[in-house]
């Protein structure tokens, strides 16, 4: 909402956001990030969404005097104090005992909310320089700006956060490419968003829903670094590299993109998916071309793709071996969630995307069937992933002003008719992404996802 108010102010329309108490820090950080730190707002007790109409009216009426006061106030008279960004360039900790020094460092950095809750490794000058030396770039080179706060991601800043995570020099090109890919989210398929991709990244990261990035690596570098492509999500020695690279990316997102909890990360509950992980596609056990080859990269090129996920479901198959039966089970499992009936959804279906991590025990029977190329499998899933319109749209009252005109016809149906009407969960097969990942067993992981993933080549960031 603050973003919208800033845009209105830029158009010369006086705008006063009404901010619930929990969102005060977010409003301050957002107004700063979107270029209008002097934006004023009025605080109300409760969030309007899911608040009864009578309570919405009463708390707004109670705030009228404050709204008027802010509108006529001297624009140079700040009504709140902006939280200062910590610009300290280095932190020094003293102790005769290295372990105690490490404890002092970790307590201080966590108190500053620089860490992720787990112990950080020291980002010493030597360590940071070592990480930078493994790249083709210099420390001052700017990789991109990073949403949601649009901090400037220099190679040195990326290296500092990677050092905290315990990254090795050979991990740096992947981390840099992932940061660059994240800045381009939403631009890969939708030309209307191509010039404003970071704005899309901003909106998804600042949602009260638990969106989180997932990194997928393709190409020779995955094996070279030991990025796991089997049981690739989770803890343990097998996933050591997955965890370190994902953690480095998260710390960059937090400390360069200003994605701080209760400021620009406003999740209602949160998700363990925000402990970002990096996985590899199991290319050796896939019957199809790897994901990056589908995008036009060469088989011997290395890439990292950033998906944004919004949930996860394990879809089990307890004995099917026929390709169509395996795909039907998967398609039926894809239908959990809601449909996007808000303005901006131009497709005929629910407007959701799905990232499918398909294990070899599903991919191979499907891919070697003779009928199913990867695109044919995606089309089959799209055609069979249909669900009850009534159930998928019940999350939003149809009288809501945000409901798109193309969905107004639903109002003419009673609840039973809405439930009986089925729609595709996705707008088209292109909203279905298949990546072969996993060990043996026909259990598929499905993630609601979106916006469209962004992929960046890694090789150009490797020091020669």
Domain assignment of residue 433, yes or no: yes
Domain assignment of residue 314, yes or no: yes
Instruction: Mark whether 232 and 313 lie in a shared domain.
Output: no
Q: What is the 3-state secondary structure (H, E, C) of 243-256?
A: HHHHHHHHHHHHHC
**What mean pLDDT comes out for the span 119-136?**
96
Please count the helices (runs of H) and the strands (runs of E) in the chain.
16, 14
Domain assignment of residue 11, yes or no: yes
The domain in which residue 230 lies consists of 98-300+455-461
Instruction: Mark whether 274 and 320 lie in a shared domain.
Output: no
Where is mean pLDDT largest: 20-34, 170-184, 203-217? 170-184
Instruction: Mark whether 147 and 275 lie in a shared domain.
Output: yes
Residue 190's pLDDT is 45
Instruction: Mark whether 402 and 437 lie in a shared domain.
Output: yes
Q: What is the pLDDT of residues 39-52, one digit of tens each?
A: 788 888 888 777 88
* 16 close to 31: Cβ distance less than 8 angstroms: no
Instruction: Mark whether 291 and 350 lie in a shared domain.
Output: no
Domain assignment of residue 137, yes or no: yes
Instruction: Mark whether 333 and 442 lie in a shared domain.
Output: yes
Instruction: Mark whether 276 and 317 lie in a shared domain.
Output: no
| DSSP E strand boundaries for 219-294 | 278-280
Instruction: Mark whether 28 and 102 lie in a shared domain.
Output: no
Domain count within the chain: 3
Mean pLDDT of the chain: 87
Domain boundary among 37, 56, 72: 72
* Residue at token pair 């953690």: 247
Q: What is the pLDDT of residues 338-388, one digit of tens each?
A: 888 887 766 667 778 999 999 999 999 999 988 899 999 999 999 999 999
161-to-256, 399, 441 alpha-carbon distances in Å: 9, 46, 37
| Greatest extent of the chain over all pairs of C-alpha atoms, in Å | 75
Domain assignment of residue 37, yes or no: yes
**What mean pLDDT comes out for the span 289-318?**
95
Domain assignment of residue 78, yes or no: no
Residue 340's pLDDT is 84
Residue 85's pLDDT is 57
Domain assignment of residue 84, yes or no: no
Query: Cα-flanking dihedrals φ and ψ of residue 92, to 5°?
Result: -120, 135
Instruction: Mark whether 174 and 279 lie in a shared domain.
Output: yes
Instruction: Mark whether 296 and 413 lie in a shared domain.
Output: no
Nearest Cα neighbor of 161 from 250, 261, 281, 54 is 250
Residue 198's pLDDT is 44
Instruction: Mark whether 240 and 111 lie in a shared domain.
Output: yes
* 179 close to 162: Cβ distance less than 8 angstroms: no
Instruction: Mark whether 62 and 137 lie in a shared domain.
Output: no
Domain assignment of residue 374, yes or no: yes
């Amino acid at each position: 909402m603050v973003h919208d108010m800033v845009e209105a102010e830029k158009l010369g329309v006086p705008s006063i956001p009404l901010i619930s108490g929990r969102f005060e820090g977010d409003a301050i950080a957002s107004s700063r990030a979107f270029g209008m730190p002097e934006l004023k707002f009025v605080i109300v007790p409760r969030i309007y969404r899911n608040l009864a109409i009578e309570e919405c009216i009463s708390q707004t009426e109670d705030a009228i005097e404050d709204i008027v006061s802010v509108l006529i106030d001297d624009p140079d008279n700040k009504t709140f104090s902006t939280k200062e960004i910590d610009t300290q360039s280095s932190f020094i900790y003293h102790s005769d005992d290295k372990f105690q020094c490490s404890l002092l460092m970790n307590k201080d950095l966590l108190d500053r909310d620089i860490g992720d809750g787990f112990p950080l490794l020291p980002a010493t000058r030597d360590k940071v320089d070592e990480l930078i030396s493994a790249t083709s770039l210099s420390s001052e080179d700017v990789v991109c700006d990073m949403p949601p706060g649009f901090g400037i991601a220099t190679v040195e800043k990326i290296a500092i956060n990677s050092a905290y995570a315990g990254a090795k020099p050979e991990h740096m090109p992947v981390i840099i490419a992932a940061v660059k890919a994240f800045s381009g989210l939403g631009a890969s398929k939708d030309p209307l968003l191509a010039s404003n991709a970071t704005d899309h990244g901003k909106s998804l990261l600042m949602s009260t829903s638990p969106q989180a990035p997932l990194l997928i690596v393709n190409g020779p570098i995955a094996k070279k670094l030991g990025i796991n492509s089997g049981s690739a999500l989770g803890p343990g020695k097998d996933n050591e590299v997955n965890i370190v690279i994902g953690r480095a990316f998260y710390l960059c997102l937090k400390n360069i993109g200003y994605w701080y909890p209760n400021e620009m990360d406003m999740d209602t509950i949160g998700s363990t998916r925000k402990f970002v992980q990096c996985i590899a596609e199991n290319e050796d056990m896939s019957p199809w071309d790897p994901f990056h080859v589908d995008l036009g990269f060469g088989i011997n090129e290395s890439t990292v793709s950033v998906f944004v996920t919004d949930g996860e479901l394990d879809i089990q198959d307890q004995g099917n071996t026929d390709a169509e039966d395996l795909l039907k089970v998967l398609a039926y499992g894809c239908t959990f969630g809601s449909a996007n009936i808000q303005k901006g959804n131009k497709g005929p279906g629910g407007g959701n995307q799905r990232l499918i991590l398909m294990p070899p025990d599903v991919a191979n029977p499907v891919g070697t069937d003779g009928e199913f190329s990867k695109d044919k499998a995606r089309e089959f899933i799209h055609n069979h992933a249909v669900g009850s319109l009534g159930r998928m749209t019940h999350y939003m009252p149809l009288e809501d002003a945000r409901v798109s005109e193309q969905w107004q016809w639903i109002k003419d149906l009673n609840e039973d008719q809405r439930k009986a009407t089925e729609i595709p969960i996705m707008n088209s097969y292109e909203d279905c992404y298949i990546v072969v990942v996993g060990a043996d067993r026909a259990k598929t992981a499905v993630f609601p996802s979106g916006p469209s993933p962004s992929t960046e080549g890694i090789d150009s960031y490797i020091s020669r």
